[in-house]
Amino acid sequence: MIVLRFIFCALLVHFLSADISAQQNSWTHFRGSELNAISDEKNVPVSWDESTGILWKVKAFGKGWSSPVVYGNQVWITSETGEGKEMYALCFDFNSGKELFRIKLFEPDKVFSKHDINTYATPTPCIEDGFAYFHFGTYGTACVRANDGAVIWKRTDLNCNHVQGPGSSPIIWKNMLILHLEGTDVQFITALDKKTGKTIWKTERPEEIMGKLSGIGRKAYITPIVINVNGADLLISNGSAVCIAYDVYTGKEVWRVVQGEDSTIAMPFSENGVVYFFTSFVTPPGEEQYCELFAVNPEGTGDITSTNVIWRLKFPVLQLQTPVIKDGLIYLVDTRNNLQCIDAGTGSIFYTRRLQDKYNSSPVYAGGKVFFTSVNGETLVLKEGRELNILSRNKLPGQVYATPAILKNSIILRTSEYLFRIGTK
């Protein structure tokens, strides 16, 4: 009996260690496994170009702005062809770049309009041990078995009129796959059973807020986060004109912060018990439109707009990228190309530098450095801290809207031309 117990314990330790190792060597969602764009890697490349520092590059089939996700030795992205007529999941080998799977998931009967800079394969997939999940907004959601590419389930009945194309990425939480579908017609959040695809809960945005907005103002493209507040797991979701905290297990509203009149794109983010998010934009009479970055105490219930906003900072409208926060510092480039470092405690700005390029890909952090990749394919590497210290500028061909994944001392970066693995041998 003692021997059997010893063997059982040894096997349990082995499997737990293997699972922890797999998680540490993974990048499972848009902006990473913790949805915070922070990698634990220490030895991350700082300098590269098209001919140096590239472990492999592959010409990715089709078109898409979805960011790469990684589990084990698999890299997954989505793609589309023929202006959305066919929608695919693509899988590549992490070590070699070899294409492992090309899975056609959806062939819509009708494809609607989108924004010129958007694609029909913009939402980033999410992945866990054994399964990958793909979302194309109103065109469909699917679960794929990772080891053989078999499609486990599909849903095509979760619909909205995006107007400018899909953009919200799915997230995995416990037994659920959580989706946002917020168009000009309907705005709802739903949790699906990740094993079967069946609906667990569905919550519509509040009509008393949405009903006051113009049709075009009701759409939103955000990806949520989940935080724990005093023992309760809250889904933080900033849609048009309102940021709402929901009970993640039921979809019931816990609190809301209200401001604005149009869509939101950037994710909320959090550190040290504070939630940060960009509001939708405001149009003051006779003045220029603006949005604000709010810092919010997430404790409380009901409408906490007047009580829980710790600080607020004005920004130009339509913030696409989600800032990264690390050790009390917020790093971002706004829609007018201003690189900034902000004190997360007070909202004070430590530095601002106007850049030439636009930056729609979200920044990521690793090894004491912050990585910003511009639309024109140049990655700016900064040393973390309150003073601006640019370490390198690294150019690759093509446009970039996807956010890179950083793991295993490598950067997986998707451009409009190629999928790259950047690193050292």
pLDDT of residue 18: 41
386-408: per-residue pLDDT in tens? 999 999 999 999 999 999 999 99
Residue 359 has pLDDT above 60, yes or no: yes
Residue-wise pLDDT tens digits, 60-106: 899 999 999 999 999 999 999 988 999 999 999 999 999 999 999 99
Q: Of 274, 245, 267, which is closest to residue 258 (Cα–Cα)? A: 245
Which one is the CATH code of 26-422: 3.40.50.720, 1.20.1250.20, 1.25.40.10, 2.130.10.10?
A: 2.130.10.10
Question: Tens of pLDDT along 314-338?
Answer: 999 989 999 999 999 999 999 999 9
Instruction: pLDDT band for 287, please (50, 70, 90 cuts).
Output: confident
Q: Say if residue 118's pLDDT is above 80.
A: yes
Phi, psi dihedrals of residue 189, rounded to the nearest 5°: -120, 140
The rounded distance, in Å, linking the Cα atoms of 169 and 147 is 23
Name the pLDDT band for 1 (thresholds 50, 70, 90): very low
- Reading the block at residue 100, the tokens are 């492992």
